[in-house]
Amino acid sequence: MNATILLFPGTNRERDMAIALERATGKKPTLTFHRETELPAGTDLVVLPGGFSHGDYLRCGAMAARSPIMPALHAFAEKGGHVLGVCNGFQILCEAGLLPGALLRNANLRFLSMDCVLRVERAGTPFTSRWQKGATFRAPMAHGDGNYFADDETLDRLEGEGLVAFRYADGNRNGAARDIAGILSPSLRVCGLMPHPEDLVDPLMGGEDGMPLFTSLAETLVST
Ligand SMILES: NC(=O)CC[C@H](N)C(=O)O
């Protein structure tokens, strides 16, 4: 699997993401700056990592969603490419319209930095094939704007079509609608989630709970 990590001004989780991807694939991902207009040839997976792109001004991810690289990302997704967005990356994917809804300020208006427990709501996707449905796992979270919002019609559609990937299983600290922590596109090839599985991929970090996300992708996206 050839992974490309996108970098925006203010991205700060790209190294964590690169380590997690390399652990799963044995290959170093490519880093591509937001000012580029093309993705590296042969990219199987594009990852938008966490951080504070453009200082979180306007709304988290709003400016990054209009970066020069974004038309290439849209084209990649339309052609069947896989895209993962974590935290600020999830916010950018929503602001870019690649996933529905938006991430609003946390309900208590505080930045949340702690571990949470996620439940896998949809197994058998490129992002979740290594988990059973209903499995729970620990994931660190660190965000000020993780309050997932969408209108009821959209939420009903996401639930009806099995596009809720992950829910908070140990309490809803940020106010996210229906405890939603991560969602999938109808194609199942675009996924965004707020917590950080890439920060729990080594016993030295306190566990490897996040690894199945990356091994699922590595197993699905075997490069030709
Ligand atoms: N860790 C992150 O990616 C943070 C995302 C965003 N800046 C927020 O605070 O919500």
Average pLDDT, rounded, for the chain: 97
pLDDT in tens, 133-157: 999 999 999 999 999 999 999 999 9
CA angle 154, 215, 196 (to 5 degrees): 55
pLDDT tens figures, 21-41 = 999 999 999 999 999 999 999
Helix, coil or strand: residue 40? coil
CA distance 167 to 181: 5
Measure Cα distances from 11 to 55, 100, 107, 139, 187 in Å.
Answer: 9, 22, 24, 19, 27
Atom 5 (ligand 1) nearest CA: 88
Better-scored residue on pLDDT, 222 or 6: 6
Q: Among all residues, which ones are annotated catalytic?
A: 87, 196, 198
3-state secondary structure of 46: strand
What DSSP designation does 82 have? E
- The one-letter amino acid code at 219 reads E
Distance 194 CA to ligand 1 centre (A): 8
The tokens for 52 are: 């504070």
**Cα–Cα distance between 95 and 99 in angstroms, integer?**
8
- How far is it, in rounded angstroms, from Cα 199 to Cα 207? 9
pLDDT exceeds 80 at position 224: no
pTM of the model: 0.98
- Can you tell me which residue has the tokens 């390399």? 22
Distance between Cα 90 and ligand 1 center (Å): 9
